[in-house]
Structure 1
């Protein structure tokens, strides 16, 4: 993304123009994103009932897949749990299948701690090029209006922090986490990296991840050959051993001093980090800017399902661009 420092005095660059080369396929994929047959398969209906329980206790009626499917449809069509129950009941009638539909209280109870795999199965054999970013999501509760209007201290935290890792090669979200607002980005990074099985040869992130601990974690996980591109602040200084053994951060600082920040961004490929910000905008447009669940565990389940939804939509089709100007 362009660096906004001294934006009033820097040279204005003309905006690039692109066109989509596979518009017919991409246009059809956009239609399929709200096609019910794209979300409900025969396999899902066949696995609707829970498997027989072999341990002491009550027998569950619905499988985890059934609960996940209902919660997914509620998020896709932005419906509360009661309306989700009615939506699934009408879909079962239209499909002509005799299945029991879980009620809203069952969806809420089973959503607590539901095992949902946040990452999709990638068919790409190339090393991942990882872009990591975070954003805030509004949660239910008394928030800024109560504090501003009535001068009353809010009773609960009004935000959660969503951390996402995007693979530039496949376009899939390969790692995600939902934390409280006091968790810093570098603190959440090791948990994100634990979700990645394959190799990573490029890591892009904003200045919040700047520091030697981040580089140390990345080189320990993926080897010294990984290309770590994190912009240091304008007042960054070289380390004590930069002359004999410069670190990745030292090389970035020296390159910015020699060539300028804009030239460094273009040469290092840091501008591709804008796709991470595009992902955050896509989340807040498709999934929404707030979480519906009230408990933290249900909110984490909701975030994992949101990741699966965006990955499923990406699988339906992606646009191919070519530059025209």
Structure 2
């Protein structure tokens, strides 16, 4: 929000400077993100083949664990499915384990609707300070080069919308979803809140979530004591009962009118929402700005695995900052 309200004088605002206080630990965590230390436990080897099915139909050869592991390694090392198959074959050969490696067509087919393993949810039932945001991810289709080189009219560019919920306390993604680009952000909020393990004490979001449906949903899920910080639009007006029983939105509107929007941001801590935008940039840098899968169900699996990869990297080490200027 600051760049929108200060665009005319942005060059006159000094840039804040910070210093990392735990550089040695954080530096080691960054090294571990590229550490290729692979082992397969006896339990994992026992779970590699698929269990026998008791109903009619073909017998699957690989378990969901095997498919998920292959897709995860392919995403971490940014490999297509064929190269992922080769990577897993080389790892199995180096470790000297006798396991069958899924081929690329099996990985593509099984990733559709893949049930990911249940993991320990970040937060562990503790109070969550939730920041929710969304971003667009490109999908397979004609690109700018086709239009520039061959002067052809490409089809309407298609996108998928990735919704992420970040816990400010743990720094981990606690909820996520992938939808079509026409789905609104407030529409996905109930599904995101279902994934949060524990109470939410603070909710931060941009103006797209402004409105009674969001506030009523949060109050019904987590009680009336939840602190909701959503910026109202410029033309927002007070509710009819603002004088007798003001809502949180009414108080935000009054504070913005009396103190200004920038002062309201600092007073309410709304500036912390920038960590949600940082998470989106981190996703597009570490994972990818584009989805590799072509089917929607495969794309949802790809997004779910990406969330686990980022959380695993966060668990290796986080920087601690202090402001110096």
TM range (shorter): over 0.9
Tell me which residue corresponds to 2:106: 106
The more displaced of 97-106 and 9-18 is 9-18
Gaps of 5+ in 2: none
Tell me which residue corresponds to 1:127: 127
Tell me which residue corresponds to 1:268: 268
Q: Partners of 1:241 and 1:257 in 2: how far apart?
A: 18
Task: Provide, for residues 222-252 of structure 1, a one-character-per-residue CA deviation record: whole Å limited to 9, x for no partner.
Answer: 1101111011111111111211121121111
Q: Partners of 1:227 and 1:264 in 2: how far apart?
A: 15
Name the TM-score, length of structure 2 as normaliser.
0.93
Gaps of 5+ in 1: none
Q: Partners of 2:9 and 2:54 in 1: how far apart?
A: 71
Matched, 1:307 2:301: no
Task: Provide, for residues 186-245 of structure 1, a one-character-per-residue CA deviation record: whole Å limited to 9, x for no partner.
Answer: 111111111112100000011111111111111111110111101111111111121112
Matched, 1:210 2:214: no
Q: Partners of 1:118 and 1:237 in 2: how far apart?
A: 45
1:163–1:178 contact (8 Å) kept in structure 2: yes
Name the TM-score, length of structure 1 as normaliser.
0.93
Tell me which residue corresponds to 2:31: 31
SS at match of 1:246: coil
Matched, 1:152 2:153: yes
Aligned residue-pair number: 323
1:135–1:161 contact (8 Å) kept in structure 2: yes
- RMSD across aligned C-alpha pairs, in angstroms? 2.1
Q: Partners of 2:160 and 2:11 in 1: how far apart?
A: 38
The more displaced of 20-29 and 203-212 is 20-29
Kindly report which structure 2 residues correspond to 1:291-306, keeping only aligned pairs within 5 A, or say none: 291-306=291-306
Provide closer, same or farther for how the CA distance between residues 10 and 23 of structure 1 changes in structure 2, counting only shifts above 3 A: closer
